[in-house]
């Protein structure tokens, strides 16, 4: 097989026996992340966009092992917070391979990032509001700055991820050229940026094309830019029957829509790098037959994998313990006392029994990152695979981890 591997890895492609042995060893719920697949995804992106600058949107999966793998694959780090900047630097990305995109940044984030920039002056900071530049200048920043434009176009699988047109993100695109002139004397203006949201798919390329076209026009109207960044949002097929994204088609459409410019194309996918490199394993707690369906209660919930509750997201689910059992229509639900804590309704699943192990596919992106401790539920463990090796990458959280920050009603916490 080529270094880039297949265009997509489906849930059925994972080694069922191996996943079962991991759950036996490490417990459940358990995230499993295959670093080799992360490498393959990085490789395919580099093949499809050989002359582009590629960054990985760290927020999709900020685990140390993933960051190191992406770093070694030659892809840079796109960070959405001071914490992500810190983790990228700690994972060994040199400053010139770290970009920070400030969205309504808290003062503490700017303090932290500017102090890290002083040690790493090649770091790039992207701002989505003119007053963020003032706030950076007040802290002494005069380094590499990129302006995030709001291109007025959204794309994505759910309205909550269509950021391109939302006023929260970026500077209205027609105001960017004037702002670029205004800031030139104070900082090193290196790029313009836009991110339309998540979910560029085969059918959605027209929105992507339009965004890139507007960004090409913008880049041509500003002298001396080093790069024009058209964001991430490369879709992955969550449904078993969805075709994989053609990276070549996206790359062709992007180049054509961008047109001639001296500024180098930059992209920053997150989901595409890690989604199909991860699965979530979860055990069946209860099986309840009700008149119209079978309710399957599992030990993962919206606190483990939030996407279905937050975005109505679809994840493939299979019964690893009983793959050949007759399929029945099920509701697959978590243990959290919320109606939205449901992974699937009306899903055909090999008839499960208590103790069976289920796998949820494409859980590598925005999975662990969005996990919470709501309902006092400790976050899951994560195992990484690399070739024949498997090792614990994040231990399971304990109740002590959750309560260690608090004191009793009468105890005093020194500040």
Ligand X SMILES: *Cc1c(COP(=O)(O)O)cnc(C)c1O
Whether 288 and 333 have beta carbons less than 8 Å apart is answered as no
Per the annotation, does 301 bind a ligand? no
Q: How many residues bind ligand X (CB under 6 A)?
A: 17
Q: 10 Å Cβ neighbour count for 121?
A: 13
Q: Which is nearer to ligand X, 245 or 296 (CB)?
A: 245
Determine the interface stretch with ligand X among 137-145, 232-240, 321-329, 352-360 (rule: CB under 6 A): 232-240
Q: Which is nearer to ligand X, 58 or 385 (CB)?
A: 58
* Three-class secondary structure of residue 363 per DSSP: coil
Cis peptide bond prior to 97, omega within 30° of 0:
no
Q: Which is nearer to ligand X, 148 or 377 (CB)?
A: 148
**What is the spatial distance between Cα 237 and Cα 51, in angstroms, rounded to a whole number?**
26
Query: Which residue among 31, 234, 343, 368 contacts ligand X (CB under 6 A)?
Result: 234
Whether 345 and 339 have beta carbons less than 8 Å apart is answered as no
Per the annotation, does 56 bind a ligand? no
Query: Which residue among 84, 109, 204, 268 contacts ligand X (CB under 6 A)?
Result: 268
Q: 10 Å Cβ neighbour count for 115?
A: 13
Report the nearest approach of ligand X to the CB of residue 169 (Å): 8
Q: Which is nearer to ligand X, 39 or 195 (CB)?
A: 195
Report the nearest approach of ligand X to the CB of residue 100 (Å): 10
Q: What is the DSSP string of 158-199?
A: SGGG--TT-TTSSEEGGGHHHHHHHHTTTSEEEEEE----S-
**What is the spatial distance between Cα 245 and Cα 231, in angstroms, rounded to a whole number?**
16
Site string for ligand X, 41-60 (x = CB under 6 A): ----------------x-xx
Query: Which residue among 270, 301, 308, 364 contacts ligand X (CB under 6 A)?
Result: 270
Q: Which is nearer to ligand X, 57 or 300 (CB)?
A: 57
Question: DSSP character for 13?
Answer: G
**What is the spatial distance between Cα 82 and Cα 395, in angstroms, rounded to a whole number?**
24
**What is the spatial distance between Cα 315 and Cα 359, in angstroms, rounded to a whole number?**
10
Report the nearest approach of ligand X to the CB of residue 131 (Å): 19
Nearest to 320 by CA among 276, 344, 274, 355: 355
φ/ψ region of 259 (left if φ > 0, alpha if ψ in -120 to 50, else beta) reads left
Query: Which residue among 44, 99, 144, 195 contacts ligand X (CB under 6 A)?
Result: 195
Instruction: For the segment 57-96, give every residue that binds ligand X (CB under 6 A).
Output: 57, 59-60, 78, 80
Query: Which residue among 191, 232, 278, 364 contacts ligand X (CB under 6 A)?
Result: 232
* Three-class secondary structure of residue 410 per DSSP: coil
Tokens standing for 346?
A: 């009306």
The set of residues, in sequence order, having a beta carbon less than 8 Å from that of 17 and lying 6+ positions away, is none
Query: Which residue among 151, 231, 297, 367 contacts ligand X (CB under 6 A)?
Result: 231
Tokens standing for 150?
A: 């709001």
Q: Which is nearer to ligand X, 271 or 379 (CB)?
A: 271
Q: Which is nearer to ligand X, 143 or 270 (CB)?
A: 270
Rule CB under 6 A: is residue 347 a binding residue for ligand X?
A: no
Determine the interface stretch with ligand X among 25-33, 262-270, 289-297, 305-313 (rule: CB under 6 A): 262-270
Backbone angles phi, psi at 402, to 5 degrees: -75, -40
Rule CB under 6 A: is residue 271 a binding residue for ligand X?
A: yes
Report the nearest approach of ligand X to the CB of residue 200 (Å): 8
Report the nearest approach of ligand X to the CB of residue 149 (Å): 12
When computed from its CA atoms, the radius of gyration of the chain, rounded to whole angstroms, is 22
Whether 79 sits among the annotated catalytic residues: the reply is no
Question: Which ranges of 49-198 does DSSP label H, i.e. alpha helix?
Answer: 64-72, 82-90, 107-119, 130-138, 176-183
Rule CB under 6 A: is residue 233 a binding residue for ligand X?
A: yes
Report the nearest approach of ligand X to the CB of residue 41 (Å): 11
Query: Which residue among 28, 41, 101, 282 contacts ligand X (CB under 6 A)?
Result: 101
Per the annotation, does 366 bind a ligand? yes
Tokens standing for 53?
A: 């600058």
Q: Could you list the active site residues?
A: 337
Residue ranges in contact with ligand X by CB under 6 A: 57, 59-60, 78, 80, 101, 195, 198, 231-234, 268-272
Q: Which residues are annotated as a binding site for pyridoxal 5'-phosphate?
A: 233, 268-271, 366
């Amino acid at each position: 097989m080529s270094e880039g591997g297949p265009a997509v890895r489906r849930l059925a492609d994972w080694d069922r026996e191996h996943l079962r042995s991991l759950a036996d060893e490490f417990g459940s719920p358990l995230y499993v992340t295959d670093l080799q697949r992360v490498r393959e995804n990085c490789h395919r992106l580099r093949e499809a966009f050989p002359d582009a600058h590629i960054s990985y949107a760290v927020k999709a999966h900020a685990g140390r092992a993933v960051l190191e793998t992406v770093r070694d694959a030659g892809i840079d780090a796109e960070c959405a917070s001071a914490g992500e900047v810190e983790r990228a630097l700690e994972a060994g990305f040199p400053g010139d391979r770290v970009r920070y995109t400030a969205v309504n940044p808290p003062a503490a984030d700017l303090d932290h990032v500017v102090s890290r920039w002083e040690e790493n002056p090649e770091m790039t900071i992207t701002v989505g509001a003119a007053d963020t530049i003032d706030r950076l200048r007040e802290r002494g920043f005069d380094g590499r700055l990129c302006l995030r434009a709001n291109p007025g176009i959204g794309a994505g699988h759910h309205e909550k991820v269509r950021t391109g047109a939302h006023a929260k993100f970026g500077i209205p695109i027609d105001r960017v050229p004037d702002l670029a002139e205004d800031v030139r004397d104070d900082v090193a203006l290196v790029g313009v940026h836009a991110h339309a949201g998540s979910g560029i798919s085969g059918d959605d390329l027209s929105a992507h094309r339009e965004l890139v076209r507007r960004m090409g026009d913008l880049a041509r109207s500003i002298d001396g830019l080093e790069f024009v960044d058209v964001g991430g949002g490369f879709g992955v097929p969550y449904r078993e029957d969805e075709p994989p994204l053609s990276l070549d088609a996206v790359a062709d459409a992007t180049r054509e829509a961008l047109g001639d410019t001296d500024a180098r194309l930059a992209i920053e996918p997150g989901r595409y790098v890690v989604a199909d490199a991860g699965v979530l394993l979860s055990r069946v707690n209860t099986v309840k037959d009700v008149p119209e369906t079978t309710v399957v209660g599992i030990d993962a919930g919206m606190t483990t994998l939030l996407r279905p509750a937050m975005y109505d997201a679809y994840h493939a689910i299979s019964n690893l313990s009983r793959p050949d059992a007759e399929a029945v229509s099920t509701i697959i639900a978590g243990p959290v006392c919320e109606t939205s804590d449901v992974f699937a309704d009306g899903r055909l699943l090999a008839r499960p029994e208590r103790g069976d192990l289920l796998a949820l596919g494409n859980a590598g992106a925005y999975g662990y990152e969005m996990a919470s401790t709501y309902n006092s539920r400790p976050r899951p463990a994560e195992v990484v695979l690399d070739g024949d090796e498997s090792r614990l990458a994040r231990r399971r959280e304990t109740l002590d981890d959750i309560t260690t920050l608090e004191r009793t009603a009468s105890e005093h916490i020194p500040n």
